Amino acid sequence: MEIGSLNKRITLQELKLTVNENGFEVEEWIPFKTVWAGVSNLHGREYFDAAAIQMENTVKFTIRYLPGIDTAMRISFKDKYYNITSIDNIKYRNKFIEIKAMEVDLSG
DSSP string of 45-93, one letter each residue: HHHHHHHHTT-TTEEEEEEE--TT--TT-EEEETTEEEEEEEEEEGGG-
* Average pLDDT, rounded, for the chain: 87
Query: Residue 1: pLDDT above 80?
Result: no
The average pLDDT across 9-21 equals 94
> What is the average pLDDT across 84-100?
95
Q: Which domains does the chain have, with CATH numbers?
A: 3-103 (2.40.10.270)
Average pLDDT of the segment spanning 12-30: 93
Q: Give 37-86 pLDDT, tens digit per residue.
A: 999 986 555 555 555 455 568 899 999 999 999 999 999 999 999 999 99
